[in-house]
Chain A
Amino acid sequence: MSEINYKTTASAVKTVLIYTALILMAFIMLIPFAWMISASLKLEKDVFSFPIVWVPSDPQWNNYLEIWNKVPLLTGFINTAKLTMFTTILQLLTSSFAAYAFAKLEFKGRDTLFMLYVMTISIPWQVYMVPQYKLMTWFGLTDSHLGLILMHAFTAMGVFLMRQFFVSIPNELLEAARIDGLSEYGIWQKLMLPLSKPAIATLCITSFTFEWNDFMGPLIYLSSQKKKTIQLMLRMFNTQYSSNYAQIMAAATVALIPVLILFVFLQRYFVEGVASSGIKG
């Protein structure tokens, strides 16, 4: 009797401890965002007042209206959305296509080609950004969205991820499908894709977060005002209106909202996708 009691109290204490730790961590993760939103609703002079007033008594919603006039944030949103969408779709299609061949078909030069892909994964972009830039100017693809899309759509990482997942799908399934008269394209479409939803989710998420938050790529490649992405707009806002913290925070909040909304709706897929990427060593 007493032992059971002891056990239940012990586990209760443990649960409390776990919750305390988690709540503390969640707190640390959230405080910057809370401060950002709170500051975005304040008068400039109150932003740094201490102790922190978390809920301003007189919220300055105006901050959110004024930022749109100062920097064309909306253009930035549209451009980023466009870039993100096309890159993700193109990457998904071509990567899964190539990955199928690498994983399930036999042909001359397969392993050599795959090695080529794998080798480039760990090469940082800095290594080749200069020649890449030169090449893009040669194609007339600087200051163009298409240029960025093409550069980011054919990544080795994408092929690698999909290939690793495809390999784990049993060959017997494929053989059965072949006997049923399905072509390789049919197998890719009807068998592989539906079976590899987690991998597809991973790739989508990696591609989405990369493209949406990419700063250096657009910084170097995009020059026209009307082509710039939300990150560049945000950065421009931060440097041009550097003394106006309240509005900087408002702009930052606005830039985070689309990602937040998407995340709230798709968080299960986000998490599943990320989780599946790490199971294999």
Chain B
Amino acid sequence: MSKDNSQIKKTKPLARKKTLVAYSFILPNLIGFLIFTFIPIVFSLLLSFCEWDSGNPIKFVGLKNFIVMFTKDSSFWIALKNTLYYTIVTVPVTMAFALFLAILMNKPLKGRVFFRSVLFFPYIASLVAVAVVWMALFNPDRGPVNSLLLAVGITNPPRWAASTTWAMPTIIGLTVWKGMGYYMIVYLAALQGVSAELYEAASLDGANKWKQFLHITWPSVTPTTFFILMMLMVSTFKSYDTMYITTQGGPGEATKVLAYHIYNSAFVSSKFGYASAVAMVLFGIIMVVTLIQFKGEKKFTSYL
């Protein structure tokens, strides 16, 4: 009995001390995180069931915001459609370019550092600066791109950001151009982890390049692919600054995405409760996509 007691007394202070030390590590970050991120998130959840214009008192309205969103706000559906369009095209195109470039670069080449730097630089360049250049290049009447197209005999070049059909592809182009260098480097690192012996063995077996890619490269980088997929998805779902800077969501509503709709509802129309409700939907979509990916990752990487 007494022996047991003393044991407990001995371990308890030790455990407490351990916990204390651990919390001393965590607290500086945790406090900031709770105040500046977590509390606002919780508050946002509550706000989505309220009406609030930033001036008048907050009013609880139950599910009204969601009902309005789904039944009375055609802009929401357009924005949702545009978000999916933007994501579904941007993500695979960026990944394809990134992987392609990484495979090209995964060899002892002269000027490798140069190519790597050049491909990566747009990623860290400021969007405001890059977007204005991009818009000038793709100016439908005077821009160099259309001047070039006209010069080579295309009489009716696309009107790019000035047309509802081409505005989104123009923005997707900008996004892919700006982002692919980053993901190329992530892929490159993964490729360098694949052992050269595998390829040697495969080519001895007579497997051609495509087969090697299919059976060695692709499976080896699958975890990285999932990582990139998730990063890219989340970042494209969240993105709206490109649209804000280039097209303001237009022409019409052609480039209005959900995140932009949230920004508009909150900071233009001052419907903060409604904005929070749309934000919840966006969050829900991202959650679902993430879960599917986790499931998918388990399934696809298990056979390796």
* A129 contact set on B, CB distance < 8 A: 40, 266
**A94 with B32: CB separation less than 8 A:** yes
Which of B32, B139, B147, B177 makes the CB contact (< 8 A) with A154?
A: B32
A82 within 8 Å of B (CB atoms): no
B190 within 8 Å of A (CB atoms): yes
* B41 contact set on A, CB distance < 8 A: 120, 123, 127-128, 131
A32 within 8 Å of B (CB atoms): yes
Chain B stretch 216-251: residues in CB contact (< 8 A) with chain A = 223-224, 226-228, 234, 237-238, 240-241, 244-245
Contact string against A for B residues 278-304, beta-carbon threshold 8 Å, 1 for contact and 0 otherwise? 011011001100100000010001000
Interface 9-residue window, one of B1-9, B63-71, B116-124, B159-167: B116-124
Other contacts beyond A39-B136, A98-B28, A275-B189: 6, CB < 8 A: A18-B107, A22-B115, A25-B119, A97-B28, A135-B36, A255-B129
* B226 contact set on A, CB distance < 8 A: 281
**What 9 A-B pairs are tightest by C-beta distance, nearest first?**
A281-B223, A154-B32, A278-B186, A275-B189, A101-B25, A50-B147, A131-B43, A252-B129, A94-B29
CA distance A122 to B232 in the complex (A): 11
Please name 18 pairs of A and B residues whose Cβ atoms are closer than 8 Å in the assembled complex, sorted by A: A21-B104, A22-B109, A22-B115, A29-B119, A33-B121, A50-B148, A97-B25, A98-B28, A127-B282, A131-B276, A132-B37, A151-B36, A205-B124, A209-B124, A212-B126, A230-B126, A278-B189, A280-B223
* A131 contact set on B, CB distance < 8 A: 39-41, 43-44, 47, 276
**A213 with B124: CB separation less than 8 A:** yes
Which of A124, A153, A159 makes the CB contact (< 8 A) with B282?
A: A124
CB distance from A99 to the nearest CB of B (A): 8
Most chain-B Cβ atoms within 10 A of its Cβ — which of A19, A260, A274, A276?
A: A274
A156 within 8 Å of B (CB atoms): yes
Interface residues on A, range: 35 or more
**A278 with B190: CB separation less than 8 A:** yes
**A130 with B227: CB separation less than 8 A:** no
Contact string against A for B residues 135-175, beta-carbon threshold 8 Å, 1 for contact and 0 otherwise? 01101001110011001000000000000000000000000
B76 within 8 Å of A (CB atoms): no
Interface 9-residue window, one of A63-71, A169-177, A263-271: A263-271
**B133 with A107: CB separation less than 8 A:** no
* B181 contact set on A, CB distance < 8 A: 29
**B37 with A281: CB separation less than 8 A:** no
**A18 with B104: CB separation less than 8 A:** yes
* A209 contact set on B, CB distance < 8 A: 123-124
A61 within 8 Å of B (CB atoms): no
Which of A124, A156, A276 makes the CB contact (< 8 A) with B189?
A: A276
**B224 with A28: CB separation less than 8 A:** no
Known: A215-B241, A278-B189. A36 touches B133 (CB 8 A): yes
**A35 with B128: CB separation less than 8 A:** no
**B126 with A259: CB separation less than 8 A:** yes
CA distance A277 to B22 in the complex (A): 25
**B133 with A35: CB separation less than 8 A:** yes
Which of B124, B193, B262, B290 makes the CB contact (< 8 A) with A263?
A: B124
Contact string against A for B residues 180-194, beta-carbon threshold 8 Å, 1 for contact and 0 otherwise? 011001111110010
**B132 with A105: CB separation less than 8 A:** no
Contact string against B for A residues 104-143, beta-carbon threshold 8 Å, 1 for contact and 0 otherwise? 0111101001001100111111111111101100000000
**B29 with A98: CB separation less than 8 A:** yes
CA distance A249 to B107 in the complex (A): 37
CB distance from A49 to the nearest CB of B (A): 9
**A135 with B40: CB separation less than 8 A:** yes
Which of A25, A29, A100 makes the CB contact (< 8 A) with B121?
A: A29
* A227 contact set on B, CB distance < 8 A: none
Query: Please, which residue of chain A has its CB at the minimum distance from the CB of B101?
Result: A25
CA distance A240 to B21 in the complex (A): 54
CB distance from B100 to the nearest CB of A (A): 8
CA distance A154 to B29 in the complex (A): 6
**A274 with B132: CB separation less than 8 A:** no
Query: Please, which residue of chain B has its CB at the minimum distance from the CB of A137?
Result: B54
Query: Please, which residue of chain B has its CB at the minimum distance from the CB of A272?
Result: B189
CA distance A51 to B147 in the complex (A): 8
B33 within 8 Å of A (CB atoms): yes
CA distance A245 to B43 in the complex (A): 44
